Structure formats: C-alpha cells, structure tokens
C-alpha cells in the first residue's frame, strides 16, 4: 500500500511537473512573465523568488501549476477600502505592496486603498496613515512585488509582460510546450528502459509462450515456456492476439488447448480463471508472450522514439473508434484508474513503473492537445483563429468559451472518477 502511494505520487508528480515546466520554459523564452511556478497544491510550505518568478512548494504533493501574467484574475488581490502597506525606495517609488495580515513589514507605509493601476499606469493611491483628508498617489515600480493574502510574494503583471502582449506564434508555442514535454518524457523513459535492459524487447506476435506464472492455471495444467498453443477449443490461433482473444472469451469454461513443442503435439484441458479487467470479466490462464531481445546500440537509441510513436498511433486509433463505434466511459480513466494501474506496475518493479509513466505521459500529452476549450488544444485553436483573423478574439467571448469547456471537463471528470470507482472497487 505504502509503495503504491509513493509510486503514484512520484509518477503523477513527474507527469505534471514536466508538463508545466514546458509551459514555464516556453513562456519565459517568449517574454511572458511567469509569476509563480508551484510544485504541489494547497497551502504554501516554501517560496523562493528569482528572475521574476516565485517558486513555491505546497503541502499536497499532487499536481502543480504555472501562473502566467494575464491568464489569471488578479482583481481580488487589491480591494478598495482595504488596508495595505507599501515599501518605498529612495525615489519614493513603491517596490512592494503588502495585502496580507500574516506579514508585517518594517518601515512600511500604511495605506487605505482607493484606486490602483498595476498594468498600464503603474500607480496606487489611497489614504496615507488613515488620513482621509487627502488621497495620495504613489508610482509603482515595473518589477514591484505584491504580497497576497496567504503571504505569497509574487511580481506584479504589467501589460507589456502579459500573455496577450506577445505574438500569436509565441503564444501558440507556449500552449503546445506542455504536451510536447510529455512526449519528450516518454521518449526518455522508454530509452531508459531499453538501456537498463541492455536491449530492446520485441514482441514476436506468435502463439509461443514466453513465461508461465507460478501456481497459475497454465502451470497447473502443465504448460511450459516455448510451448505453442495452436488452437483453443477448436479455434485456430496463429498469433498472440488471436490466442488472447480466444482465451479471454472462455473465462470459467472448460477449454481444450492443442499445444506443440518441437515435433510433439498434445492436448490440455483447463478452465481459464475469471478476472476483472477495465470493468469487464475475461478469462486468463497466466502466460506471457515469447519476447526476443535486440541488443544493438541502434535499437536501444531509437527505441524511445519508435515506442512513443507506436503508442501515439494506437491512441489516435482508439480515439477514432470512439467516434465511429460509440462513446463509453470505460474508454476513459481518471486518478482512480491511474492509481490502480500504478499499484499493478509497482508490484512488478521499477521498470514497470517507468513504462507506465511513459504511457501515461503520452496520454496526457495527446489529451491536452484535443481541441477542447480550457485544454491546451483549445487554446491553440484560439491562437490559430486569431492568426487567421489578424485580430484578437473578443476577451469576453474567449472567457465564455473557456468556462463552458472547463464546466464540461469537470462534469466528465466526475463521471469518469465515479465510473472508475465502480470498475475497480465494486
């Protein structure tokens, strides 16, 4: 249980970190101010500010996020009539605005806020020291810091460093960088697996057994490694997929196998064990496919790219079938499904966990590229539309589109999570 939880946190954390770091790096290079880069969610444990970005470590070790200037609502940071304190430099320019009651700044000037502009004019005004006889305006430094209610210090977001102020191509690259990083992670992870194994395992797609699990139905029936199962209950099985399909349909039923090994042929009768997989009951006998290993350097170096591409093609094929053959919640998996898969992977060791992480990273990259509002793919579509129209999309319409997309995603996530709970725990 503990091993599964640790593995889940590591896998989930790495996936999110790599994804968000892609957005972070691209935004920085594009001239967009990244106000905060957070590891984890919830209350802040640690914070460090450098080069315009506040790096935070938060209590819950799941997820993370990047706050880009212009992409979050900052109106709640300052409020009219709220007490703040200002830190001024020698030129009487504000370098820090404290809105938090959790922090007290020495030699700071008390102010009751009446109005402000931290995007264009860069000023703040209010009643100094509670004196309501006169409103006083202070100039704010372009790189001034603001202390939020929870005590987090972040840089203010002037218009020239906001997301909307950079070119469309730069915004598009920034939005695509997260999924791109997920594909890079998968390539590296698969390459690492090949390197550790000393070669690339190649599925033969034959009807030959590679291993027989101890105490399994197959082991008790006398099946051994290198046996070839040429038919299942009279149905010919020329390759592994046909073999899997035939045995899967025989769960709990007495089944006769025709087995060959070298020049000897024999018949074996057994009853495949009924197991639950992805919400469906199938038959299993406890065997794995015969695997060959290519030890060449070229195979090892190229495996990450080849395997990543194979999975991308397979996922798009599965998505295509969803649209042509009907939609089912069983085609999706949320955090519960991910936890279940991590539990199984952790049982088989580190390489299995790395393999799962690579697979999930590809899934995360592709899902985020789908043209759905609130996802990276939806933002990319808006970037393309703006590039074609040669003018920005109405911000109000963009907000409505994003909110609708976000609401639909939340509904889907709730349905998928509930379906996962039913599939894996009931």
Give me the residue spans of the domains in the chain.
83-161, 205-289, 296-425
pLDDT-based confidence at residue 92 (cuts at 50, 70, 90): very high
Asked if 151 and 96 count as a contact pair (C-beta separation under 8 A), the reply is no
pLDDT tens figures, 226-253: 899 999 988 999 998 899 999 999 999 9
Rg (CA), the chain: 29
Calculate ∠ Cα 252-254-257, nearest 5°. Answer: 120
Query: Across the chain, what does the average pLDDT equal?
Result: 86
pLDDT of amino acid 150: 84
Catalytic residue among 20, 36, 148, 289: 20
The sign of the CA dihedral 350, 354, 359, 360 is: positive
pLDDT-based confidence at residue 321 (cuts at 50, 70, 90): confident
| Alpha carbon distances (Å) from 258 to 51, 92, 234, 288 | 69, 90, 8, 17
- Known active-site residue 153: no
Query: Does 163 have pLDDT greater than 80?
Result: yes
pLDDT-based confidence at residue 73 (cuts at 50, 70, 90): low
pLDDT of amino acid 337: 64
pLDDT-based confidence at residue 167 (cuts at 50, 70, 90): very high
| Alpha carbon distances (Å) from 44 to 13, 101, 242 | 17, 16, 53
pLDDT-based confidence at residue 155 (cuts at 50, 70, 90): very high
pLDDT-based confidence at residue 186 (cuts at 50, 70, 90): very high
| Alpha carbon distances (Å) from 227 to 236, 260, 321, 411 | 15, 6, 34, 49
pLDDT of amino acid 371: 86
pLDDT of amino acid 104: 85
Asked if 417 and 334 count as a contact pair (C-beta separation under 8 A), the reply is yes
Instruction: Calculate mean pLDDT across residues 121-141.
Output: 90
Copy the structure tokens of residue 335.
């955090």
Instruction: Calculate mean pLDDT across residues 191-206.
Output: 84
Question: At the topology level of CATH, where does 205-289 sit?
Answer: Pdz3 Domain (2.30.42)
Query: Does 131 have pLDDT greater than 60?
Result: yes
């Amino acid at each position: 249980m503990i091993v599964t939880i640790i593995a889940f946190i590591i896998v989930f954390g790495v996936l999110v970190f790599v994804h968000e770091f892609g957005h972070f790096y691209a935004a920085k290079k594009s001239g967009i101010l990244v106000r905060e880069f957070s590891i984890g969610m919830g209350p802040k444990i640690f914070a460090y500010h450098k080069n315009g970005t506040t790096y935070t470590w938060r209590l819950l070790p799941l997820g993370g996020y990047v706050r880009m200037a212009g992409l979050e609502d900052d109106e709640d940071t300052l409020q009219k009539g709220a007490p703040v304190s200002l830190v001024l430099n020698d030129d009487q320019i504000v370098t820090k605005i404290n809105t938090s009651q959790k922090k007290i700044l020495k030699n700071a000037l008390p102010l009751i806020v009446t109005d402000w502009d931290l995007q264009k004019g860069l000023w703040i005004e209010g009643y100094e020291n509670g004196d309501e006889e006169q409103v006083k305006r202070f100039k704010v430094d372009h790189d001034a810091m603001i202390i939020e209610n929870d005590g987090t210090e972040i840089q203010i977001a002037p218009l020239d460093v906001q997301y909307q102020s950079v070119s469309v191509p730069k915004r598009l690259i920034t939005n695509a960088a997260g999924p791109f990083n997920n594909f890079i992670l998968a390539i590296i992870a698969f390459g690492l697996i090949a390197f550790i194994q000393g070669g690339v395992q190649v599925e033969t797609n034959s009807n030959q057994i590679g291993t027989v699990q101890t105490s399994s139905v197959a082991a008790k029936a006398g099946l051994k490694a290198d046996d070839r199962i040429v038919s299942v209950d009279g149905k010919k099985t020329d390759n592994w997929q046909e073999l899997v399909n035939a045995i899967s349909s025989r769960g709990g039923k007495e089944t006769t196998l025709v087995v060959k090994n070298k020049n000897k042929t024999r018949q074996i009768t057994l009853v495949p064990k009924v197991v639950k997989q992805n919400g469906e009951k199938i038959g299993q006998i406890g065997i794995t496919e015969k695997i060959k290993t290519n030890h060449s350097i070229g195979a090892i170096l190229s495996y990450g790219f080849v395997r990543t591409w194979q999975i991308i093609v397979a996922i798009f094929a599965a998505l295509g079938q969803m649209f042509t053959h009907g939609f089912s919640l069983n085609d999706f998996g949320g955090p519960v499904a991910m936890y279940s898969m991590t539990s199984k992977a952790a049982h088989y060791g580190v390489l299995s966990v790395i393999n799962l992480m690579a697979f999930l990273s590809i899934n995360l990259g592709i899902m985020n590229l789908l043209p759905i509002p609130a996802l990276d793919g939806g933002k990319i579509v808006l970037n393309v539309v703006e590039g074609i129209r040669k003018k920005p999309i109405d911000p109000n319409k963009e907000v409505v589109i994003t909110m609708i997309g976000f609401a639909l995603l939340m509904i889907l996530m709730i349905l998928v999570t509930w379906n996962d709970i039913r599939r894996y725990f009931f």
